[in-house]
Structure 1
């Protein structure tokens, strides 16, 4: 039976995917707007050191947390899929450039030089966030096994200072059917190369294996630990040396 909270009209504001897209868009627009506002301040006219401190605190705090949280959630979910692998590489490259600018900002020798670095940071960040909004989010919506609402919820957890759950065993027998595969793929996205988790099910998860072959070709391991007749257990892992 479907609960009232699970009833929605697809592609409207009641759709969890639409709500998740809106939340993420609001978050990165707020970050971009905050940095843009700080870089518009004249470092000389406004007693430069306080401006420099405000920009540095924002970049080394909230902005770095956002970049790290995205890497652990949205990027991790899309990194192994053939259709999004190159996109994630590009986003991780521009995120690295933003981090390099932030490192320079922390060691700037004057408020004026800090302002120049901050403006360069804002320019790269603007392009980076635009790609997240216009390319990555639509790709995640279409990606087999990706659960955008769950990924955005995980992102919010990390931004709030929380930690993601990484259970060693996922027993899906009590999980509604429509939520099983997204839950499993979300757990896979959190694996480091060489790590594994164990899936427990009441039938042979061959359809899930086909989805893994489609979404993460050559980057996952699949080992039967128990093969029925009433319970199946599969150890799923991320291959060492994969491009994810």
Structure 2
């Protein structure tokens, strides 16, 4: 088999490549949808701009993406010191985009066109930062499984509810995906919230990872210590800035 073909096949199944592909596909769908609708600008003396279709697109395509990105991209990246400020900026951008969507929903046809142009411009910058800065950082984090990230993002964009399990039985998760799933669940916790980890052995290596990544920001309480099943309550502790 030619080396080039081997490289292509390996690339197509590489988790990092798959994760980036899922995000970029979502980005392109948003860009294309906004471009198509904003091209139908109003003509003099009329209200021919498709503001209703644009509002529908923003409410049912753009806004769900912002929710999905917040859960599956921003939450895990916010756990790392190197990307925390970046995530803060992206979250501010998401809030601004949501405010513009609200303005769009309340606007007339002419104002809707103006707002849609502003949304498209702001969104383009927002998505470029996700692609060029956030995604490379995410796929390089040891606590993030790119395959899991891609699957969760796909599920959220398909309208499935975010996983908010209070119990995670890692015995049912394939090896290699267990720790990333636990860290992803932790990333979604607010201060004071917790979940229960179930395992067939004492998860000491996982605790060591928590100590290395989230020292002082998590709680770890054994509820059951064998012999066949271990249960640990893992929580997020409020940390003073």
Change (3 A) 1:9 1:239: farther
Off by >4 Å, runs of 4+ in structure 1? 8-11
Cα deviation, residue 134, structure 1? 1.0
Contact 2:19 2:146 in 1 (8 A): yes
* Equivalent position of 1:224 in the other structure: 222
Cα deviation, residue 187, structure 1? 2.0
User: Is 2:192 the counterpart of 1:160?
Assistant: no
Counterpart-to-counterpart distance in 1, 2:77 and 2:109: 39
Change (3 A) 1:231 1:42: closer
Match of 1:234, SS state, is strand
* Equivalent position of 1:201 in the other structure: 199
Match of 1:23, SS state, is helix
What's the TM-score, normalizing by structure 1? 0.86
Match of 1:83, SS state, is helix
Counterpart-to-counterpart distance in 1, 2:48 and 2:216: 51
Cα deviation, residue 35, structure 1? 0.8
Cα deviation, residue 242, structure 1? 7.2
Counterpart-to-counterpart distance in 1, 2:157 and 2:96: 21
Cα deviation, residue 50, structure 1? 4.9
* Equivalent position of 1:4 in the other structure: none
Match of 1:198, SS state, is strand
Cα deviation, residue 33, structure 1? 2.0
Match of 2:176, SS state, is helix
Change (3 A) 1:116 1:9: closer
Cα deviation, residue 127, structure 1? 0.5
- Number of aligned pairs? 235
Match of 1:166, SS state, is coil
Counterpart-to-counterpart distance in 1, 2:10 and 2:47: 47
Task: Note the alpha carbon deviations across 1:141-163, whole angstroms, 9 max, x for none.
Answer: 11121112212211221222211
Counterpart-to-counterpart distance in 2, 1:58 and 1:174: 38
Q: Unpaired segments of 5 or more residues in structure 2?
A: 1-6
Contact 2:148 2:177 in 1 (8 A): no
Cα deviation, residue 56, structure 1? 1.3
Contact 1:168 1:197 in 2 (8 A): yes
Task: Note the alpha carbon deviations across 1:128-181, whole angstroms, 9 max, x for none.
Answer: 011111111111111121112212211221222211333322222354432221
Counterpart-to-counterpart distance in 1, 2:46 and 2:197: 58
* Equivalent position of 1:142 in the other structure: 140
Task: Note the alpha carbon deviations across 1:158-215, whole angstroms, 9 max, x for none.
Answer: 2222113333222223544322211211222232332211112233322212222333
Counterpart-to-counterpart distance in 2, 1:238 and 1:29: 35
User: Is 2:95 the counterpart of 1:96?
Assistant: yes
Pick the aligned partner of 2:188 from 165, 169, 190.
Answer: 190
Task: Note the alpha carbon deviations across 1:84-142, whole angstroms, 9 max, x for none.
Answer: 2111111101111111111111111x311111111111111000011111111111111
Change (3 A) 1:135 1:45: same
* Equivalent position of 2:168 in the other structure: 170
Pick the aligned partner of 1:114 from 112, 115, 122.
Answer: 112
C-alpha RMSD over aligned residues: 2.4
Change (3 A) 1:106 1:174: closer
